[in-house]
Homo-oligomer: A and B are copies of this chain.
Amino acid sequence: MGDDPCVGETRRGRPTMNDVAAAAGVALKTVSRVVNSEPGVNAATANRVQAAIERLGYRRNDSARILRRGRTASIGLVIEDVADAFYSSLSRAVEDAALHHGYLLFTGSSREDAARERDLVLAFCARRVDGLIIVPAGSDHGYLAPEFEAGIKAVFADRPPGAGCEADTVLCDNAGGGRTGTAHLIAHGHRRIAFLGDSPGIFTAAERLRGYRQALAAAGLPYDEGLVVMAPPDPARMRADLARLLTASDPPTALLAGNGRTTVETLRALASLTGAADAGAAGGLALVGFDDFELADLLGITVVAQDPARLGRTAADLLFMRLSGDEEPTSRIELATRLVPRGSGERPPLPLRDRTAG
């Protein structure tokens, strides 16, 4: 009479185990056993249940399951921005690990906003994720205290947690990378090296600057504030800064770019300033970038390479160790960086008079 071809009750919404049980003529618990492949169900019964499951299109409700069992088999990942290649590589590594362990993954980008980091983390906690991997934007992680109390595991990646927050941490050796990159330029004869970093509040930016200063000091070179820019990589601002640097009375002969974004924007700025088609050699400046990027090989850009996938993998490994009961003291791992010479960082200083030739 109705227009529903199904046999029996027309239920709106999803069938439950109860519906399946009724359809198969067994008890609820038996369905549960079949769904979870628990032993102790007669093959014939199991088949009947299985048939009912397929006929009704039954799908277990994991919210109920989670509520009952207390574990969610999911983890949360908070990064700075998925659209950034560094973080998307990291994401992918975490995703792989999660999949491998049978976990589902919540993802969110903080956009370098501490409040947003906190909201995301707490939302994940409300969903009762078993663990968290956090690239922190903020420096106060007091809000995590009740979560730790409740047994949640967290691993910090790329940047350490705020003071007073004890948790596993995986970092790159940012200061070491800054030293290496700077020392490389010094070894090629440069004495005036500009550092184009990100906001000084960002841990990695500050560390890399520290490494830069260490290398200068080790070589007996003075630290000149006029050669350092620490600000978010805005294209227009960077072009202006570079123009100012290059037309100064004692301009730099080499640049160290503080991260992937600044490297790329530096290349753009150089290209637009010098009009050179081959930005890699623009202005005869030597250039070392921090963080490798796609096509750096073709552009011949020397970089201090990090390994975001390894960072993600390591963080995930630590987390899953914790989730499987590991109670060791928290560890802090620093991953080495690797200098990849490709030409732009091996150019000797160009005497001032040759500059305009481009």
Contact = CB atoms under 8 A, between A and B. Distances in A.
Interface of A: 13-14, 56-64, 66-67, 70, 72, 74, 81-85, 88-89, 91-92, 95, 99, 104-109, 122-128, 145-147, 149-151, 264, 267-268, 271, 277-279, 293-295, 297-300, 309
A82 B91 CA distance: 7
Contact of A295 (B64, B146, B150, B264): B264
Contacts of A149: 57
Contacts of A125: 59
A109 B95 contact: yes
Contacts of A126: 59-62
Contacts of A295: 264, 267, 293-295, 299
A152 to B, nearest CB: 9
Nearest to A343: B277
A128 B61 contact: yes
A91 B99 CA distance: 18
A342 to B, nearest CB: 11
13 contacts: A57-B145, A62-B126, A63-B66, A63-B67, A81-B92, A82-B82, A85-B88, A104-B123, A104-B124, A267-B295, A268-B297, A268-B298, A299-B299
Contact of A67 (B57, B67, B89, B151): B67
Contacts of A92: 81-83, 109
Contacts of A277: 300
A226 B184 CA distance: 48
A109 B56 CA distance: 29
A271 B298 contact: yes
Contact of A63 (B72, B268, B294, B299): B72
A302 to B, nearest CB: 14
Contacts of A64: 67
Contacts of A104: 106, 108, 123-124, 127
A91 B60 CA distance: 27
A64 B65 CA distance: 10
B267 A298 contact: yes
Interface centre among A58, A62, A63, A149 (most CB of B within 10 A): A63
A140 B279 CA distance: 47
Given A57-B150, A63-B66, 6 more contacts: A57-B145, A83-B91, A264-B294, A293-B294, A295-B299, A299-B299
Nearest to A13: B150
Q: Kindly list the 7 A-B residue pairs having the minimum CB-CB distance in the complex, ordered from nearest.
A: A57-B146, A83-B92, A88-B88, A14-B150, A62-B126, A63-B66, A107-B107
